[in-house]
């Protein structure tokens, strides 16, 4: 379990239940499949989405079994998208561990991602309404749309801030928002609270992805769990670079962009991006999304979970991995 949750005993305990549910759903007569799923589950993810579903459900009538099952669903959905994402990126490591596609091959990884999706909908069928099943299906659609857009714009210098924000809204913020929505809606919160929490999820998700993209420029590989500059090498141009290109009056940065990069190229691009203010400007936008989430959190009913949400949003903004 990620040490992030040590401070919150109830969330920690519920997330242990979530992990157990996922492990039970990993059981398979084909042991290679079972072991692959267990490796994913045990890989050290932050479990943010299930935790946020549990926290948001705490604003209403909380029923542990129901919400732990739903929390397991959103985490397995996230895991499935990561498996497929690693195939597209030809990623060798994820969270410091060998990816499924690297270990077993791309074909096998496709089947594993599909299997996870099927497990999700089996759990959903007995734990949520048809309306929420529809919303979760839409979230998957949005994630796939965002990933397709990112893939189609590889190595493109024409990616604007607007296109970037639209992409991360689909591929990341959508599932954060749905986690908040499902938790609060299924626990019987008022429409006003449900709407506010889903918007908080969106804002936290946007800030989270921006910081994630900043860490591709500033992080340490042993902490981030993947090589620094990995997105750059894959031709995925994110907010720090987009901002830097806008500020690049001499086109010195643009001249370095090509279809294949060495480690030396990546170091040069990161250095110039930093000097042009790309990283600082990206961090400033993440802070604005977090500030907006703070403003929305302030409007929530007073309870322990309200304070927890604010602490988590602040922590995610300053994280190093």
Query: pLDDT confidence of 221, banded at 50, 70, 90?
Result: low
Query: 304 exposed, middle or buried (CB, 10 Å; 0-12, 13-18, 19+)?
Result: exposed
What is the average pLDDT value for the chain, to the nearest integer? 87
Tokens of 125: 């069928």
Q: What is the pLDDT of residue 164?
A: 94
CATH number of the domain encompassing residue 197: 1.10.600.10
Asked whether residue 132 carries a pLDDT value surpassing 80, the answer given is: no
Q: What is the pLDDT of residue 84?
A: 78
Asked whether residue 136 carries a pLDDT value surpassing 80, the answer given is: no
Place of tokens 């024409």: 158
Q: What is the pLDDT of residue 149?
A: 80
Place of tokens 């409007």: 299
Asked whether residue 85 carries a pLDDT value surpassing 80, the answer given is: no
Q: What is the pLDDT of residue 94?
A: 73
Tokens of 290: 């977090």
Query: pLDDT confidence of 227, banded at 50, 70, 90?
Result: low
Q: Coil, strand or helix: which one is 187? A: coil
Residue 36, domain extent = 3-317
Q: What is the pLDDT of residue 47?
A: 94
Count the domains in the chain: 1
Highest mean pLDDT among 2-16, 194-208, 248-262: 194-208
Q: Coil, strand or helix: which one is 316? A: helix
Q: What is the pLDDT of residue 162?
A: 94
Q: Which residues, other chains included, contact 43 with Cβ-Cβ below 8 Å and sequence gap of 6+?
A: 94, 95, 96, 97
Asked whether residue 42 carries a pLDDT value surpassing 80, the answer given is: yes
Query: pLDDT confidence of 287, banded at 50, 70, 90?
Result: very high
Asked whether residue 223 carries a pLDDT value surpassing 70, the answer given is: no
* pLDDT tens, position by position, 155-186: 888 889 999 999 999 889 999 999 999 999 99
Q: What number of other Cβ atoms are within 10 A of residue 6's Cβ? A: 10
Highest mean pLDDT among 141-145, 154-158, 257-261: 257-261
Q: What is the pLDDT of residue 26?
A: 82
Q: How many CA atoms lie within 13 A of 24 on its CB side?
A: 12
Place of tokens 């705490």: 58
Segment 256-264 mean pLDDT: 87
pTM, whole model, 2 decimals?
Answer: 0.88
Query: pLDDT confidence of 224, banded at 50, 70, 90?
Result: low
Closest CA to 286 of 231, 167, 204: 204
Least confident of 130-139, 171-180, 278-287: 130-139
* Backbone torsion region of residue 220, taken as left when φ is above 0, otherwise alpha when ψ lies between -120 and 50, otherwise beta: beta
Q: What is the pLDDT of residue 275?
A: 94
């Amino acid at each position: 379990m990620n040490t992030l949750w040590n401070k919150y005993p109830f969330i920690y305990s519920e997330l242990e239940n979530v992990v157990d549910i996922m492990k039970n759903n990993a059981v398979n007569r084909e042991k290679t499949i079972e072991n692959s799923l267990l490796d994913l589950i045990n890989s050290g993810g932050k479990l943010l989405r299930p935790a946020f579903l549990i926290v948001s459900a705490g604003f209403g009538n909380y029923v542990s079994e129901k919400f732990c099952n739903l929390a397991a669903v959103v985490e397995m959905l996230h895991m499935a998208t990561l498996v497929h994402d690693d195939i597209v990126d030809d990623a060798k490591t994820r969270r410091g561990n060998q990816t499924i596609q690297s270990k077993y091959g791309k074909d096998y990884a496709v089947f594993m991602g599909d299997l996870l999706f099927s497990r999700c909908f089996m759990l959903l069928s007995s734990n949520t309404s048809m309306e929420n099943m529809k919303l979760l299906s839409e979230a998957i659609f949005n994630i796939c749309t965002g990933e397709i857009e990112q893939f189609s714009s590889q190595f493109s210098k024409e990616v604007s801030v607007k296109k970037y924000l639209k992409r991360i809204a689909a591929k990341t913020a959508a599932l954060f928002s749905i986690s908040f929505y499902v938790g609060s809606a299924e626990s019987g919160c008022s429409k006003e609270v449900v709407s506010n929490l889903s918007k908080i999820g969106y804002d936290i998700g946007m800030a989270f992805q921006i910081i994630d993209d900043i860490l591709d420029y500033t992080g340490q590989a042993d902490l981030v769990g993947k090589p620094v500059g990995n997105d750059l090498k894959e031709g995925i141009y994110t907010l720090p670079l987009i901002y830097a290109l806008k500020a690049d009056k001499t086109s010195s940065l643009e001249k370095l962009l090509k279809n294949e990069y060495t480690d030396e190229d990546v170091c040069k691009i990161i250095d110039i991006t930093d000097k042009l203010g790309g990283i600082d400007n990206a961090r400033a936008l993440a802070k604005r999304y977090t500030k907006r989430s703070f403003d929305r959190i302030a409007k929530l009913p007073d309870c322990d979970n309200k304070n927890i949400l604010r602490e988590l949003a602040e922590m995610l903004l300053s994280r190093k991995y």
